[in-house]
Amino acid sequence: MKIITLLICCIFSLSVLAQRDLLMLKHHGQTMQSWTNGSYILFQFSSKQWIEGVIKKIQNDSLIIDQIQVRQVGNQFGLPTIDTVHFGILKLHINEIYGMPKKGSSSNLITDGSLFQLGSAAFILLNVANSLIKADPVFGSDNLPKLGIAAGFFVIGKILQNTHKSYLQLGTKYKLVTIQL
Summarize pLDDT for 28-76 with one digit per residue, the tens.
Answer: 889 888 999 999 999 999 898 999 999 999 988 889 999 998 888 888 9
Give pLDDT, residue 8: 56
Could you tell me if 159 and 171 lie in one domain? Answer: no
Q: What are the backbone dihedrals phi and psi of residue 164, each rounded to the nearest 5 degrees, phi first?
A: -90, 115
Question: What does the alpha-carbon distance between residue 165 and residue 156 come to, in Å, rounded to a whole number?
Answer: 15
With cut-offs at 50, 70 and 90, classify the pLDDT of residue 138: confident
Taking the CA atoms of residue 47, residue 53, residue 56 and residue 59 in that order, the dihedral angle to the nearest 10 degrees is 30
| pTM (2 d.p.) | 0.61
Q: Which range of residues forms the domain containing residue 53? A: 2-102+167-180
Could you tell me if 88 and 135 lie in one domain? Answer: no
Count of domains observed in the chain: 2
> In the chain, pLDDT over 70 holds for what percent of residues?
85
Could you tell me if 128 and 43 lie in one domain? Answer: no
**Residue 38 class from Cβ within 10 Å (0-12 exposed, 13-18 middle, 19+ buried)?**
exposed
Question: What does the alpha-carbon distance between residue 140 and residue 131 come to, in Å, rounded to a whole number?
Answer: 10
